[in-house]
Amino acid sequence: MDRRPVLTAVALAATVVLMSCGKKDEAPTAAAPAAQPAATTAPAARAGGTEAAKKWVDSEFQPSVLSKEEQMKEMEWFIAAAKPFVGMEINVLSETIPTHEYESKTLAKAFFEITGIKVNHQVLGEGEVVQAVQTQMQTNRNLYDGYINDSDLIGTHSRLQSAVNLTDWMAGEGKDVTLPTLDVKDFIGISFTTGPDGKIWQLPDQQFANLYWFRKDWFDKPDIKAKFKAKYGYDLGVPVNWSAYEDIAKFFSEDVKEIDGKRIYGHMDYGKRAPDLGWRMTDAWLSMAGASSKGLPNGRPIDEWGIRMEAGSCNPAGASVSRGGETNGPASVYAIAKWDEWLRKYAPPGAADYDFYQSLPALAQGNVAQQVFWYTAFTAEMVKPKKEGNNTVDDAGNLLWRMAPSPKGSYWIEGMKLGYQDAGSWTLFKSTPLDRRKAAWLYAQFTVSKTVDTKKSHTGLTFIRDSTVRHASFTERAPKLGGLVEFYRSPDRVLWTPTGINVPDYPKLAQLWWQQIGDVNSGAFTPQKAMDRLAEEMDLNMARMQEVDEKAKVYGGCGPRLNKPVDPKQWLGKPDGPKAKLANEKPKGVTMPYEEIVKRWAAAK
């Protein structure tokens, strides 16, 4: 996205707050999707009950991990639990991806017909969602009754305590509206939404990882394989490390150059100075390079943002190397330098000016050999037929590409996370009136219930339940999804994780990244200078958080407590400290046959 949507969200949220002044019991609605203000009740609302439920179960909610009888039992529970709220109209917000569009257009309609609760499920850019969440937290005004908000904010929610602790909610105030068959243990990413206090703060609604993407048809060409082996001394295959990725990028861009009369390139990425460039880096790019400590779901004491927080503590101690952090350490600088170098040398012309959303259609043109940082949320788009503009499938619709584990940078060591996984999760706030919160919670559970989840997953391909990904329908479909099903059935799926609890206030710190990284792309600063500036700004922001937390416990006593800065040499290379610069940041490339990876995934339990 560009900067404009974020600014729009600020203005929108401000309008909501202003309009809501003096109307304590009414939900502000300027940001709602409906043209008219949202009312407490929906005109002529009528619950269709079991008859409507049966229609949806028979016509839409197939396949399912449940039998139709079991599905109807779930629907009957929803009908009964929703009776106190029949006629209510609520507003929820999520980012714009196919999964949430399906919820907005199809599941919200089904929920209304079955329960009588009208849901305005609005979808906006991720930046606008974060902005709305931040505004509701800061003002305690009810902008939306529920959010599907990245679990990257787990450290924020568990500290600010403005979100509802779902563990206590499900056992207390929300017990009467908590689905008996919710089966929390079935959620693949429930550990991602669990805070340092052991409480669940968010309920996963969709997940996708950033993996490695490549043109398997090109990698399998005998002449290309022979030329690569002759030049580099090892087999062309899925790169295990960044050295191999760089060799392959250079090889396709400078040696192969052309396939079937089309100019081709060895790498794809984006670099526009916009908010999504920040997420490109905070989505674990530094830890993929090796800039963090060992640990899952996130490194301790140093996480993938380079923020230090000691084991057993909830107080971040700093981002700069001088404070024991790693945001401006050698491994982080190496990560940014490689991103910049590969983008300039091996990507198609203009890629440096693309944003996140422009990079997908560019990849679908079919002129790129590989991408080191590719979100599996794009799978639904990349399996579309050729007639819809997707040149990464053949005329019969067979995939010419595959996905595989992300290659690792030179600083990476065993025991670290392997990459990023988005876990968009339902989040409720205390500032939402109790009755509206309960109605939103019912809708949230409906969208992730076993009744609807299998069909929803076939639509958006963003798995959240173990039972769903193991359903027979996905065994049948797996060969047409490029490795997605095999990945999510394997234990590897938990090695790709969201931002963790070291980040004390995601909205405040995330916005710093894209501005500094954008200065590398523009040539204004070197990677080292940009990361020095970023680390300093993060520490300045965390110092302000520390001040308010010490005065008023704004962060529940778990705000930053920064280490005093010292000579970076006192930290570099120390046990549990930021890594010292390697003498050789480009060891010999290592690859692995794709078939071996799939066998390992398939054999894993």
CA 160 to chain centre: 21
Are 290 and 585 a contacting pair, CB within 8 Å? no
Number of Cβ within a 10 Å radius of residue 21 = 9
pTM listed for this prediction: 0.88
Give the per-residue pLDDT at 29. Answer: 33
Give the per-residue pLDDT at 604. Answer: 65
Asked whether residue 232 carries a pLDDT value surpassing 80, the answer given is yes
Number of Cβ within a 10 Å radius of residue 567 = 9
Of the chain, the percentage scoring pLDDT greater than 70 comes to: 92
Q: How far is the C-alpha of 455 from the C-alpha of 60, rounded, in Å?
A: 8
Number of Cβ within a 10 Å radius of residue 186 = 17
Query: In the chain, what is the straight-line distance between the N-terminal and C-terminal CA atoms, in Å?
Result: 38
Q: Binning pLDDT at 50, 70 and 90, where does residue 32 land?
A: very low
Asked whether residue 510 carries a pLDDT value surpassing 80, the answer given is yes
> What average pLDDT does the structure give for the chain?
90
Asked whether residue 147 carries a pLDDT value surpassing 60, the answer given is yes
Are 577 and 334 a contacting pair, CB within 8 Å? no
Out of 9-13, 44-48, 93-97, 550-554, pick the least confident.
9-13
Are 437 and 92 a contacting pair, CB within 8 Å? no
**Bigger pLDDT: 208 vs 35:** 208
Beta bridge partners of 496: 419
Q: Binning pLDDT at 50, 70 and 90, where does residue 603 land?
A: confident
Q: How far is the C-alpha of 467 from the C-alpha of 186, rounded, in Å?
A: 7
Q: How far is the C-alpha of 466 from the C-alpha of 190, rounded, in Å?
A: 11
Number of Cβ within a 10 Å radius of residue 576 = 15
- Coil, strand or helix at 565: coil
Give the per-residue pLDDT at 359. Answer: 83
Give the per-residue pLDDT at 600. Answer: 86
Helix 126-139 vs helix 275-282: crossing angle, to nearest 10 = 90
Asked whether residue 40 carries a pLDDT value surpassing 90, the answer given is no
Asked whether residue 527 carries a pLDDT value surpassing 60, the answer given is yes
Asked whether residue 257 carries a pLDDT value surpassing 90, the answer given is yes
* Amino acid occupying residue 143: L
- Within 8 A by CB and 6+ apart from 426, the residues are 146, 147, 148, 149, 202, 203, 204, 205, 441, 444, 447, 448
Q: Binning pLDDT at 50, 70 and 90, where does residue 47 land?
A: low
Segment 581-596, tens digit of pLDDT: 999 999 999 999 999 9
| DSSP letter string, 262-321 | EE-BS------SSHHHHHHHHTTHHHHHT-S-S-SSS-SSB-TT--B--TT--S--BSSG
Beta bridge partners of 436: none
Residue 484: which H helix or E strand, with range?
A: helix 484-489
Segment 429-452, tens digit of pLDDT: 999 999 999 999 999 999 999 999
- Within 8 A by CB and 6+ apart from 429, the residues are 136, 137, 142, 147, 162, 163, 164, 437
- Region 135-144 average pLDDT: 94
Domains and CATH numbers, the chain: 3-201+428-494 (3.40.190.10), 208-274+334-421+588-603 (3.40.190.10)
Residue 232: which H helix or E strand, with range?
A: helix 222-232
Q: How far is the C-alpha of 540 from the C-alpha of 562, rounded, in Å?
A: 10
* Amino acid occupying residue 261: G
Q: Quick one: CA dihedral 526, 532, 535, 537, positive or negative?
A: negative
